[in-house]
Amino acid sequence: MKKVLMIILIFLSTLLFGGRIGAQTVKAGYVSKDLNYLPFFIAQKRGFYAKEGIQVDLVSIGRADVQLQALVAGELHFANINADNISIWNERTNGNLKVAAGSSNSAPYLLIGAKNVKKLEDLKGQRLGVASLTGGATSILLTYLKSKGLIHPRDFALSIIAGGTPARLSALESNAIAGAVLGIPFADFAIDKGFTRLGDTTEVISNYQFNNININPSWAEKNRPAVVKFIKSHIQALRWIYERPAEAAEFLTKEFGLQA
């Protein structure tokens, strides 16, 4: 009798939780807890990954180049960073990393200056914070400033600050840098704290293929079902965000611990 009951319990468990039993585990990198990476956390917490039958470990890696190294080494299966970083990596290393899907087609960054920086010209001779020397938000920063007549390295220097927008805001608060581009909602937090809004980069670059789901073909070709499931989960998360903006904003605030 006990054996029969055990068989029934196992059967029922398979029906109820079959998506989790034996689910393949994959690792996905993210730079920081900000708006750009919200879909990955939505997919995890709302059960979209589990629904598709995969378990996703989200790994915090604050620099794009380190994510790419991990992707090549097989320590990551998905690198969630900018497309231009993939292009730069492939050119420099003769690599073959690929963009599997787009995640955001805009980069709504504001250029924020230290409290003693009141206008763009005040950035001359100063040090600005960036995640890397090339690609991603750095490309946006340099293009925007060039359109305003400020050229690197002639007019300003760059300091690498790992950890994305939150880390750059912290660097501003500690007076380690004189300016940086910050994403939503950290730019608003900074302005509320008295830092200077120097410009909106979307005035110069309105459409930009920013974050993407990037893969190493040597792994992805052997694990195509997992790649498809990951992308399907991501699409479901994006739909959830667009269909429930108020809930998404509440999730962003609570999950990421965002307080002005």
Strand partners of residue 26: 56
pTM of the model: 0.82
Q: Provide the domain count of the chain.
A: 2
Note whether 62 and 90 are same-domain residues. Answer: yes
**Does the CA dihedral 34-37-43-44 come out positive or negative?**
negative
For position 12, what pLDDT does the model report? Answer: 36
Q: What would the DSSP string read from start to end of 91-117? A: HHHT---EEEEE--S----EEEE-TT-
Note whether 72 and 96 are same-domain residues. Answer: yes
- Residue 246 domain boundaries: 2-105+209-255
Note whether 84 and 127 are same-domain residues. Answer: no
| Helices first, then strands: H and E counts in the chain | 11, 10
Question: Could you give the C-alpha distances from 251 to 84, 94, 107, 246, in angstroms and in order?
Answer: 29, 40, 21, 9
Note whether 97 and 168 are same-domain residues. Answer: no
Position 260 in a domain:
no
Note whether 9 and 87 are same-domain residues. Answer: yes
Domain boundary among 166, 182, 203: 203
Note whether 99 and 124 are same-domain residues. Answer: no
CA atoms within 13 A on the CB side of 248: 18
Note whether 37 and 157 are same-domain residues. Answer: no
CATH number of the domain within which 15 lies: 3.40.190.10
Note whether 94 and 155 are same-domain residues. Answer: no
User: Please, are residues 72 and 95 in contact by the beta-carbon 8 Å criterion?
Assistant: yes
Note whether 88 and 14 are same-domain residues. Answer: yes
Those residues of the chain that have pLDDT short of 50 are 1-20
For position 258, what pLDDT does the model report? Answer: 76
Note whether 12 and 100 are same-domain residues. Answer: yes
Note whether 131 and 198 are same-domain residues. Answer: yes
**Does the CA dihedral 72-78-79-85 come out positive or negative?**
positive
Note whether 122 and 164 are same-domain residues. Answer: yes
For position 17, what pLDDT does the model report? Answer: 39
Question: Could you give the C-alpha distances from 76 to 56, 58, 92, in angstroms and in order?
Answer: 11, 10, 20
Position 38 in a domain:
yes
